Amino acid sequence: MGARCSKFSFCWWHSHLKPTVLQSSDLENGEKNSFPNFREFSWEELKAATNGFSPENIVSEHGEKAPNVVYKGFLESEGWIAVKRFNKSAWPDSRQFLDEAKAVGNLRSERLANLVGCCFDGEERLLVAEFMPNETLAKHLFHWENQPMKWAMRLRVALYLAQALDYCSSRGRALYHDLNAYRVLFDQDGNPRLSCFGLMKNSRDGKSYSTNLAFTPPEYLRTGRVTAESVVYSFGTMLLDLLSGKHIPPSHALDLIRGKNFLMLMDSCLEGHFSNDDGTELVRLATRCLQYEARERPNAKSLVTSLMSLQKEIEVPSYVLLGIPQGNANGTQPLLLTPMGEACLRMDLTAIHEILDKAGYKDDEGIANEETLNSKKQGDAAFRAKDFATAIDCYTQFIDGGTMVSPTVYARRCLSYLMSDVPNQALADAMQALVVSPDWPTAFHLQAVSLFILGMENDAQESLREATNLEAKRNKT
C-alpha cells in the first residue's frame, strides 16, 4: 500500500459504497445466494461478544409475558450481531429449540435480518442474527427527529415487508409472531428488513403474539392460534401505521374508511406528497387485509403484486429516502465500533490496556519472533504489571538496539506513553507502528485515541473510521 501523507505523514482513504437503488432484481423476494452457514455458538463466545450481557448493550426488551432481551454484540468472525436471550423458562427442550432455530436459520433473504446461529447451554437459549444499525420502523415512523418518513419510503417498506412474508411463505415459514413496527429494522444501506426473531415462537407453548387486544387478529382471540391469514391481518395494521404515522386500532380505522373519511387517516406530514389514487389504493389494500373473515384476506404474493405498481422514486437509494447519512458525498458511514474502537472513543486507557494484553502478539504476523531478547521480555512483563515507566525504558532499549522492528512494541510503548500522560510521544509511536504494519487496525486505534487526547477530534475520527473499515475487511476475509 502506498505511503500515507499530510501533517501526520499519512493520508486517509475511504471505502466508497455502491448506491443501493431499487433495481428490477430488488423487486423480487431478495433471496441470498451466498451467506455464512447457520452455526451453533458457545455461551462463552456470546457472553464475551456482548461484554457479559452488559445492560449498555441492550437494544430491545419485551414485557413480562415475554421477558426476552436483545443485545448488540461483536464477534471477530462475524462482525456485529444481535443476540436474543430467552427467559429461563422458555424452550426447556434443547433439541426442540435447536430444530426450530435451524429451520429459521435455513432462510436467507435480503428482506430479512437473517438468523446466523443459536446457542443452548444449560437453561440458556439464545438466537444470533445479523445486526441492523439504523433503528426500527417504529423509531423512523412514530418517533422521528429530523424529518417524517417520506411517502416513497413508506411504500418501499410495505413492499419489502410483503416480499419478506412471501419469501418466508414460499419456504414453509408463513407464521410470523407479533408482526409490528418494532420488527422492521433498517440495514446499513437504509433498506427495511424483517426481523427473523418473529419467525420463532418466544417459547414452545406459542404464547408470543400481540398482547394488545385492540390489534390482535380476531381468530386469535377465538382460538389462540396464529395462522398465515393472521399474519396478513397484522400486515394490514402496519399499512395503517404507514398511512397515518400513528398506531391506530383497526376498528377505528375501518369506521373512518366505511364513512369515506380515509383522508382523516393520513399522516398530516404527508399532505401534498401523495396522490389521492395512491392513498385510496393503499387504504383499499389495508381494508382487505383487515377483513374479519380470515379467508377473505389476500395472501402475501398478491400483496407484493399490488404494492409493486405503487412504488415511487425507485431509482433513489433507501438511505436517501430515509434521511440517514449512509452513502453521502464523501463516502462515510455511521461507525459500528468494535470494543477496541469504543474504548478509544471513550479514551478508556485501562480497557485498551486489557485488550492489548489479551491480544498478545498475534498481530505481529511473524515480525516479532525473537522472544529471547531480554529488553523486550522485560518490557512485556512491565507492561502486563502496569509498570509503564519501566515498560517505556525497556521498549526504548529494544527499539534503539535496532535488532528488529515490531509493531506491537511500538503499540505497547504508545499506550505506556498515554498512561504516563505523554500523548505527543504516543502519537509518534502509533505512526511508527503504521509504518511497519500499514493495515493493522490496532495501530489506527492507538493513533485515534492519541489524537482524541490531544484534542484533534476530526483527525481522531478519521483514524477511528479507518481502523473500523480495516477490521470489517479482515472479518469478511
Return d(Cα 129, Cα 121) in angstroms, integer.
18
Pairing of strands 124-130, 79-85: antiparallel
Q: Which residue did the predictor score with more confidence, 19 or 356?
A: 356
CATH number at residue 60: 3.30.200.20
Return d(Cα 463, Cα 449) in angstroms, integer.
9
The answer to whether position 161 is within a domain reads yes
The mean per-residue pLDDT over the stretch 448-475 comes to: 85
The answer to whether position 334 is within a domain reads no
Model pTM score: 0.67
In this structure, the answer to whether residues 117 and 140 fall within a common structural domain is no
Catalytic residue among 178, 187, 267, 363: 178
Q: How far is CA 373 from CA 359, 378, 393, 436, in A?
A: 20, 9, 14, 19
Residues 275-326 have pLDDT tens digits of 888 999 999 999 999 999 999 999 999 999 999 999 999 999 999 999 887 5
Nine-digit cell string for 33: 445466494
Give the three-class secondary structure for 31: strand
Domain closes at, from 71, 95, 130: 130
In this structure, the answer to whether residues 152 and 111 fall within a common structural domain is no
The answer to whether position 27 is within a domain reads no
Domain closes at, from 256, 288, 322: 322
Q: Over the range 187-217, which residues count as b (16 or more CB within 10 Å of their CB) and which as e?
A: bbbbbbbbbbbbbbbbbeeeebbbeeeebbb
In this structure, the answer to whether residues 251 and 345 fall within a common structural domain is no
Give the max Cα distance, the chain: 88
In this structure, the answer to whether residues 296 and 375 fall within a common structural domain is no
In this structure, the answer to whether residues 411 and 365 fall within a common structural domain is yes
User: Which range in 51-60, 185-194, 364-373 is most confidently predicted, on average pLDDT?
Assistant: 185-194
The rounded mean pLDDT for the chain is: 83
Q: Where are the alpha helices (DSSP H) in 198-227?
A: 218-223
Return d(Cα 164, Cα 363) in angstroms, integer.
41
Would you say 215 and 249 are in contact if contact means Cβ atoms under 8 Å apart? yes
What is the number of other CB atoms lying within 10 angstroms of the CB of residue 223?
11
Write down the pLDDT at residue 191: 95
Write down the pLDDT at residue 365: 42
Nine-digit cell string for 454: 490531544
Instruction: Name residue 126's beta-bridge partners.
Output: 85, 119
Closest by CA to 183, choosing from 221, 215, 151, is 215
In this structure, the answer to whether residues 61 and 201 fall within a common structural domain is no
Domain count along the chain: 3
Match 399474519 to its residue by C-alpha cell: 231
The answer to whether position 2 is within a domain reads no
In this structure, the answer to whether residues 167 and 292 fall within a common structural domain is yes
In this structure, the answer to whether residues 116 and 179 fall within a common structural domain is no
In this structure, the answer to whether residues 296 and 166 fall within a common structural domain is yes
The answer to whether position 329 is within a domain reads no
Residues 144-177 have pLDDT tens digits of 888 899 999 999 999 999 999 999 999 999 999 8
Domain closes at, from 130, 150, 177: 130
In this structure, the answer to whether residues 165 and 304 fall within a common structural domain is yes
The answer to whether position 328 is within a domain reads no
User: Which range among 51-65, 163-177, 238-252 shows the weakest confidence by mean pLDDT?
Assistant: 51-65
The answer to whether position 392 is within a domain reads yes
**By residue range, what is the domain housing residue 444?**
339-476
Give the three-class secondary structure for 220: helix
Would you say 66 and 208 are in contact if contact means Cβ atoms under 8 Å apart? yes
Residue 319 backbone phi and psi in degrees, to 5? -65, -30
User: Which range in 4-13, 18-27, 105-114, 265-274 is most confidently predicted, on average pLDDT?
Assistant: 105-114
Pairing of strands 39-40, 115-121: parallel
Would you say 130 and 81 are in contact if contact means Cβ atoms under 8 Å apart? yes
CATH number at residue 274: 1.10.510.10
In this structure, the answer to whether residues 166 and 252 fall within a common structural domain is yes
Return the percentage of the chain with pLDDT > 90, whole number: 48
Exposure of 14 in the CB half-sphere (CA atoms within 13 A): 15
Exposure of 397 in the CB half-sphere (CA atoms within 13 A): 13
Residue 380 appears among annotated catalytic residues: no
Helix axes 374-384, 349-359, angle to 10 degrees: 130
Return d(Cα 412, Cα 418) in angstroms, integer.
10
Nine-digit cell string for 123: 437453561
In this structure, the answer to whether residues 162 and 122 fall within a common structural domain is no
Would you say 200 and 125 are in contact if contact means Cβ atoms under 8 Å apart? no
CATH number at residue 459: 1.25.40.10
The answer to whether position 9 is within a domain reads no
